[in-house]
Structure 1
Amino acid sequence: MDSDVCMISASGRTLLHVAVIAGNLENVEKLVKVGKDTLICMKDQHGYTALALVARYTGNTDMAKCMVETKNGFRKRLLEIQNKENVIPILIAAANGHKELTIYLYSKTPSTVFDGDDSQNRVLLLSLCITAEIFDVALKLLKRYKELPKESLSLYKFSVPKSLRGSLSLPSNESHQQSLSDKFSALVALAKMPSAFPSGIRFSRREQFIYDILCVESKFRHNHDFPDIANFVRKVTRIPVDERPQKTSFVCQHGFDRRVLNCLLFVMLSVWHFCKQLVSIFLVWPVKLLGLLLHWIIHRIAYLFIRCFNCLNIFGVRRIYELKYTHYEVIGILGYFCQSIGEFSSRELEDALAYEGMLHGAQHGIIEFINAMKEANLGLLSAIDSCNRGIFSYAILNRKENVFQLIHCLNGRSEIFRNRIDKFDNNLLHLAAHLGPSSDLDSRSGAALQMQREIQWFKAVEKVVHPKFKEAKNGDGKKPFEIFTENHDELMKLGEKWAKETATSFTIVGTLITTVMFAAAFTVPGGNNQDTGLPIFLNDSVFTTFLMADALSLFTSATSVLIFIGILTSRYAEKDFLKSLPWKLLFALSFLFLSVCSMIVAFCAAIAMILKGYRTYKWFIVGPTMSLGSIPIMVLVLSQLRLMNEILRSTWKNTIGNVKL
C-alpha cells in the first residue's frame, strides 16, 4: 500500500475523506482499492470515518457499497465504528434523511449493535427513521424487538448526542438532567405527519379510484409479516358503526306500552321476514348473484388495467402505489405502538406524550391515529392542553371534519366532551365562531362558499352542544354568535364582492345571448314566403329543431339573467350565504349553460337549412361546423362544471355533523 494514500491533513482527514466530501465516486473506488481496510477505517479529528462522511454529506449508496462490501463478504467492523459522540454510520445516515443509504446500512449492520440491554442504538434509529420517514427500517426494528415500542416511549435512559438532537427537534443546549420537553415521542412525530396517513391526502376522483383498487396487502405481508394489516387498516380508517348513537323510535316517544309494542313488533317482523324470504328466493338472489359476478369481472378487469398502468407508470399509478404502501407501513408502525399503549398507566402515557400526540392528531385531522389510539386506550380521548381544550376543541378550531364526527360515536361519554369549557370560558360553539384556518378556507372556490362553509361549521356544532351554550358568554362577555359576526365580517364582505362580480360577468353573457336569440327568432334562415309571409322551411324538421332550440336558449338565458339580477340585489345577510345565495348561483349557472347549448344547436340547425340545396358539399361544411360548435360547450363545461358541482355538494347537505360510513 502506498503510504502517500494514508497522509493526514491538519483536520485529520485523508484523501479518501476528501474524495467522499467532493462526491467523486471514481476516486473513492480507486482509493478504497489501494488503501484497503487501513485507509477505510481511519478517522478525522471528529471521529468520522469515510463511511460516516458518506452518511453525513452525500448519502451515496454506491460509495458506501464500495467501502462495505468485499469479495469475501463485508466489513462488519467498519459499520460499528463510532465517532467521538459514540454515533455509528447508520444513525448518521438516518439523521440526515438518506433513505436508500439507511436501508442499505441496516441490511449490513450486525444485529449485535442493536441487541442487548443497552437500547440506545435501536431506540435512536427508530426515532430517527420515523422523523426522516424511513418507515421500512422502523417497521423492521419494531418487528425484531418486541419491547422497542415501550423502550422508545419511555423516558430515555441516555443523553441524546448533540449531532442528532436537531433531527429529533430537541433543544441543542443539552442538560445533564433530562426534562420532559427534551423527550422525543414517536407518537407526537407521527401525529404531525398528516401526509403519511390516508386522511391527509386529497386525491382527484381518478386518483382515488386507482388508490382504492390497488392491492398492497400481499406485498406488505411478505415484507413485514403483518398478517392482519388489512383488517387493522380498515378498522382505523373508519368510524365504528356499532358505536353510533341509536335513535329512540317514534312509538316509544309517544307512550305506547312496551309489552304491546313488543307483540306488534314481533308479528310485523315475522310477516316481514316471511315475505322477505319469498322475495329473496325468487327475485333477490338471482339478481345478487349476477351483480356479484359482474362486480368480480369488472374488478378483475380494472385490476389488470391498473397492473399494466403500474408497469408503464400511466396516470401516476406507480406513485399512488408507493404512497398507499407507505400508508400501510405507517399504520403498521402505529399498530405496534398501540399494543404497548394499551398496557401503559396514566403516568406512563404522560411520559410517552400520548396525550399530546392525540391533540396533534386532532389538529391535523389524522383520524387513523385517533381511532388506533382510542382503541388501545379509551382514556386518551380525555386529552387536554394547558387551556383545558380537548381533541374536539382542536378539531373545531382547525376544521377537521373527520375527527369532529367522532363525537357522534361515543354514546353516553359524548356529554363530557360536548359540555367542555376552556379556561377562557369558551364552549365548543365559541370556538366554532372563530375564523377557520386558511388551509380549510382555500379548499373552497370563492369567498361566498368559504362563508357558507363557516356557517355550516357553526350550525353543526350548534346541534351538538347543550342549548344553554348558545347564549352563554365567555370570559370577555361575548356570546358565540357575536364572536362569529365579529370574526367573519371581512369574509362576508369578500363573499358579497365575489358573488356580485360573478353575477355581473354572467349577466353580460346572458344578456348577449338573449339579444342574439331574440333577433334570430324574427330573421329565420331562408327567409319568408312573399305571398303568405310564412317561413320557407316551415315544414322542415330541421326548422322545427331551430325554433325549439332558439326558444329554449332565449327563455333560459333570460331566466339566468333575472336570477343573476336577483343575486346583485340580495341583502347579503349571514344566513343568505348558507342556502339562498348558493342555490341562486347554481340555478343561474345551470340555465346559462343550457342556453349556450341550445344556442349552438340553433346555430348548427340554421347552417344545415342554409346549405340544404348544396347536397354534394353539405355535410363537408355542416359536419366540421357542428364539431367546432362543441368547443364553446366544452370550454364552458371545463370552466364552470367544477364550480357547479362544488356548489351542489356543499349546499345539498351539511355533511359536517353526519357520520360517514
Structure 2
Amino acid sequence: MEQIPLFNEKMKLAQKAAMAKRWEDFKKIMKDDQENLLKQFDLFENSAIHVATRSNSPRLLRELIEMLPKEERWQALCKENREGNTVLHEVVFCKKKKMADVVFEIEDELLLQQQSSSLEEKRTLLDMRNHRGETPLFMAAMHGKLKMLKHMANRTGTRNMEDFRKHLHRSDKYSALHASVMGQHFDVAIWLVRMNRELAMEKDEKELTCLQLLAKMPQVFRSHTHMGLVKSIIYHLFPDNGYEIEDDENFQLFKHKSDVENGKLDERKLAKSVISRTNYKFWKRFAKEFEGIDHMWKEKKIHKLAECLTNILVHYDFSWQISHNEYKRTTMISMPRDPISVAKRRRISAQKREERRKNDEEPPERTALLIATKTGIVEIVEKFLDVNPEAIFHVTENNQNILTMAVKYRQKKIVRIIQRKGAIESLVGQISDKGRTILHEVARMDYYKGEHLAGVAFQLQDELRWYDKVRRLIPKHYNMHCDIDGHTPEDMLEMEHDGMLKEAQKWLKETAQSCSTVAILVATVVFAAAYTIPGGTENGTPVFLHSHVFLFFTIMDVVALATSLASVVVFLSILTSPCELWDFHKSLPRKLNLGFALLFLSLMTTMLAFSATMLLTIRLEWKNWTSTLIYSAAFFPVTIFAMIQFPVYVMTRSIVKHLWKQIKKVLPMRLVKCFTNLN
C-alpha cells in the first residue's frame, strides 16, 4: 500500500524554523500558506497556533490567529492536540501573562461580534478540559505555574468559590492541590489552600489527603537531608523567612498578611518585614551567581515551603480523632510455657517465617501523624502534636500507637520527641492485635533499614543498642510477655537477627584476620629498624646519640612496636571470641575499634620514624624545603589511612557526644550547688 507524506515541504520548513526558534521565518512561512495554520503541524497533532505559544511572543500569537478568517478563529482556539489540550492549555507554559491576555481578548471579541446561538452555547476556553479532564487552571497548578494560575484565576473570579473550585478538579477526584503537592510545587499549594481551605480536607482516588501525601515525602524536609559541615554552614546562612512570598512585585510574608488586613501591623513588624525582604533578595541574587549555592538555595526553599504548607494543613486533619483506645488499668501478661533454646530457635525454617510474615501484613496507615512517624518527618510530627496534643494517644485498628510506629521503623528522633512530651509512660504499655509489645516490634527485621555504618558488626550493634534502649523504657515484666506465636521479645530478637549474626561473625573474623596480618608486618619492620640504627655505631655507641632527631626516631620506633603488638593481641582476642549475639552489643565492637586505633597509631609512628631516619641519613637542615617535602611524603599514606572512614571515628564521635551530654547534665547541678553554697 502506497503511503502518503504527512507533511509537505512548506510545513517542514516551518518545523525547522520553530525548532531553531526563528519565529519571524516561521510567521512568513505561515503567512504565505495560511491554509496550514489549522493543519497538523507535528506528531503531537499540534496546530501552528499551538506551536506559536512556545515563542512567548504575544504579538506573534495574535498575528497568527488574525491571519485566519473570523469564522475559523474560534475553531483555532478550541482545536485540540493529541492530549486534548487547547491553545489556552499550552499558554500555561508561557512566561508572559500577556500570552493568556491575547487568547482572552480574541475570545471576548468573538463573543461580542458573533451572537449566534451555536457560539453562545459553547463553553469558555477556561472550562474546556483535555483528555485527562484537566482545565487550564488545573494544568497551571500541576506544573507549578503560580503567576499564570493567579492570572487565569482572576478571569474566573475567585469570589465565587464554587465556580473557582470546578476548575481545580480532574474527573478522577484528583484536585489541583494534590497535583501541586505531588509535583513539589509547594508555593502553588500554599496559595490554593489559602484561597479555598476546603481543598485541604479533600481526598484523592486512593482516599489520601494532601497532608497524608506530604507525610510520604520525607525528601522534601530538612530532617532527611544530609549535609557536610561546609554545606550546613552555608545552608544556615540563608534566610529562614520569605520563601512563601506571593510574588516579587508585591512582597508580603504570609505570616504578616492577616495583620495587614486587620490594620494591626505596627512599625516594628513593618521594619522586620523590610529587613526580611532585603535579606531574602540579597541571597536570592547571590545564589544565582554560583551553581552549587543556587542548588542549596532551591533546596532550602523547598524545605521551608514544605514546612509552611505543613503548618497550614495540620489544622484541617482530623483523622486522629477516630481512635481505638481501650482503657486498661492493668495489662495481663502472657507468660511463656517453656523456655525456647537457641538450637530450637534456629530450627525455625525460612518457609515458616515467610508464612508468618504474610499473616502479619498490616493495612495501610491512613492517619497523617502515623505516616509521618513511619517516614521520620520530624517537622510534621512536631507541628501536629503542637496543634493537636491529644493526637499522641491515637491508636489504630490493629492496636498500635505513635510509639509503636516510631520504634519498629527505627525513628529515634520521633521517640525523643515523645519523651520530651512526657507521654512515654502512657504509651509503652500498648499491645498490638498480634499480642506484641513495642519490644517485640524492635526485635522484628520486617521494617529494618540498614544504617550507613562501617560493617555488618556495627549494624548489629546498632540494632542491639536500639533494643536495649527500648527495653529500658518499658516495665520489666513486659520482657516476659509472649505474642500469639508464644515468643518473648528475646526469642524474636534471636530468631530474626540470626542471619545478621552469621554475617557479622564472618565479617568480624575476616576483618580481624586481615588487620592482624598488617599489624604483624608493621611490628616486623619496626623491630628490624631498632637493630639497624641510622648512621651506624662507633664502639657500640650510636653516632647520632646526642641528636634530637635520633631521640625522636627512637621514641617513634618504640611506640610503633608497642602499638602494633598491642593491636595484634586485640585482634587475636577477637578471633578467639565465641561471637555470641550480645557480644556484639559492646564487647566486640569496642575491641575492634581499639584494634583499629592501635593499628592506625602504629602506622603513623612508623612513618614518623622513617622520616627521622631520612633526616639523619642525608643530614638535611630542619628549615630546608626538602625536609618539608620528605615529611609531606611520609604523611601521605597516613593521611589516606585517616580519610578512610574507619569505625574508630564513629566510636570517637559517639564517645564525645555521650561525654558532652553527661557534662550538660552535671554542669548545671554543680553550678546550682556552688551558688547555694555561696549564699
State if a TM-score over 0.5 links the two structures: yes
Q: Tell me which residue corresponds to 2:213.
A: 189
What pairs up with 1:471-620 in 2 under 5 angstroms? 471-529=480-538, 532-612=539-619, 619=624
* Counterpart residue identity of residue 497, structure 1: K
Q: Which residue of 1 aligns with 2:290?
A: 313
Structure 1 position 534, deviation (Å): 0.9
Partner of 1:91: 138
Q: Alpha carbons of 1:567 and 1:438: their partners in 2 closer, same or farther (altered >3 Å)?
A: same
Bigger CA drift: 204-213 or 9-18? 9-18
- Determine if contact 1:93/1:102 at 8 Å carries over to the other structure: yes
Shift of 1:29: 8.6
Write the distance in 1 (CA, Å) between the matches of 2:373 and 2:316.
21
Q: In terms of mean alpha carbon deviation, does 322-331 or 76-85 score higher? A: 76-85
Partner secondary structure for residue 576 of structure 1: helix
CA change 1:543–1:190 in 2 (3 A) is same
Write the distance in 1 (CA, Å) between the matches of 2:166 and 2:86: 21
Contact 1:449 1:647 (C-alpha < 8 Å) held by counterparts: no
Match of 1:116 in 2: 160
In 2, Cα distance between equivalents of 1:391 and 1:347: 14
Question: CA shift at 1:53, angstroms?
Answer: 5.0
Alignment of 1:129 with 2:196, yes or no, is no
Task: Report the alpha carbon displacement of residue 30 of structure 1 after superposing the two structures with TM.
Answer: 5.7
Alpha-carbon deviation of 1:38?
4.2
What residue number does 2:255 align with? 227
Q: 1:434 aligns with which of 441, 444, 467?
A: 444
CA apart distance, 1:372: 1.2
> Within 2, Cα distance between the matches of 1:373 and 1:354?
16
Alpha-carbon contact 1:32-1:66 (below 8 Å) kept: no
CA distance in 2 between counterparts of 1:604 and 1:187 reads 63
In the TM superposition, 1:113-512 aligns within 5 A as 114-118=158-162, 119-122=165-168, 124-143=175-194, 145=195, 148-149=196-197, 151-154=198-201, 170=205, 182-218=206-242, 220=244, 225-227=253-255, 310=287, 312-313=289-290, 316-341=292-317, 346=321, 356-411=367-422, 413-435=423-445, 437=447, 439=449, 441-512=450-521
SS in 2 for 1:189: helix
Q: CA deviation at 1:498?
A: 1.6
Aligned residue for 1:547, secondary structure, equals: helix
Against the structure 1 CA distance between its residues 323 and 76, is the aligned structure 2 distance closer, same or farther, given a 3 Å change threshold?
farther
What is the alpha-carbon root mean square deviation over aligned residues?
Answer: 4.0
Check conservation: 1:90, 1:102, Cα contact below 8 A: no
Structure 1 residues 8, 81: CA separation in 2 closer, same or farther (over 3 Å shift)? farther
How far 1:25 sits from its partner (Å)? 5.0
Distance of 2:576 and 2:656 partners within structure 1: 24
Deviation of the 1:323 alpha carbon: 1.6
Q: CA deviation at 1:632?
A: 0.6
Give the superposition deviation at 1:51: 3.5
Give the length in aligned residue pairs: 537
Q: In structure 1, what residue type is equivalent to 2:63?
A: K
1:401, distance to aligned residue in structure 2 (A):
0.7
1:61 and 2:94 matched: yes
Question: What residue in structure 1 maps to residue 629 of structure 2?
Answer: 624
Q: Using a 3 Å threshold, how does the CA distance of structure 1 residues 38 and 32 change in structure 2: closer, same or farther?
A: farther
For residues 74 and 208 of structure 1, what CA distance do their matches in structure 2 show?
Answer: 52
CA distance in 1 between counterparts of 2:320 and 2:580 reads: 52
Question: Is the 2:535–2:617 contact (alpha carbons within 8 Å) kept by the matching residues of 1?
Answer: yes
Contact 1:188 1:360 in 2 (8 A): yes
Q: Are the aligned partners of 2:373 and 2:406 in contact in 1 as well (CA < 8 Å)?
A: yes
The equivalent position to 2:650 in structure 1, one of 629, 646, 649, is 646
In 2, the alpha carbon distance for the partners of 1:648 and 1:363 equals 30
Distance 1:444 1:200, change over 3 A: same
State how far apart, in whole Å, the 2-side matches of 1:12 and 1:621 are.
Answer: 70
Distance 2:104 2:97 in 1: 14
The 1:310–1:24 alpha-carbon spacing in structure 2 relative to 1, beyond 3 Å, is closer
Task: Tell me the TM-score normalised to structure 1 length.
Answer: 0.72
Structure 1 residue aligned with 2:65, among 13, 27, 35? 35
Q: Which has the higher contact order (CA 8 A, sep 6+)?
A: 1
Which of 20, 30, 35 is the aligned partner of 1:4? Answer: 35
Could you tell me whether the CA contact under 8 Å between 1:139 and 1:224 is conserved in 2? no
State the distance in 1 between where 2:616 and 2:285 align: 49
Q: Once the two structures are superposed, what CA deviation does each residue of 1:327-383 show, in whole Å capped at 9, x if it has no partner?
A: 2111111222234458x994799xxx9961112111001121112112222232233
**Partner Cα distance (2:569, 2:98) in 1:** 76
Counterparts of 1:141 and 1:594, CA distance in 2: 61
- Alignment partner, residue 237 of structure 1: none
TM-fit CA distance, 1:608 = 1.0
Kept after mapping to 1: 8 A contact 2:138/2:168:
no
- The alpha carbon displacement at 1:104 in A equals 3.5
Query: Which segments of 5 or more consecutive residues in structure 1 lack a partner in the other structure?
Result: 157-167, 171-181, 230-302
Looking at structure 1, the residues matched to 477 and 77 of structure 2 have their Cα atoms a distance apart, in angstroms, of 73
Q: 2:675 matched to which residue of 1?
A: none
Deviation by residue 1:623-643 (Cα, 9 ceiling, x = unmatched): 3222211111110110145x3
The residue number in structure 2 matching 1:288 is none
Letter in 1 for 2:87: A
Q: Secondary structure at the match of 1:360?
A: helix
Q: TM-score, normalised by structure 2?
A: 0.70
The answer to whether the Cα contact below 8 Å between 2:49 and 2:64 also exists between their aligned partners in 1 is: no
List gaps (5 residues or longer) in structure 2.
1-30, 67-72, 110-123, 170-174, 258-279, 325-363, 666-679
CA distance in 2, matches of 1:117, 1:471: 59
Residues 26 and 206 (structure 1), Cα distance of their counterparts in 2 relative to 1, 3 Å cut: closer
Name the aligned partner's letter for residue 80 of structure 2: D
Partner amino acid for 2:239? C
* Mapped contact 1:135–1:330 kept (Cα < 8 A): yes
2:35 aligned partner, one-letter code: D
Deviation readout 1:57-91 (Å, 9 max, x if unpaired): xxx535x8684254998989986242267632131
Greater mean alpha carbon deviation, residues 626-635 or residues 474-483: 626-635
SS of residue matched to 2:254: coil
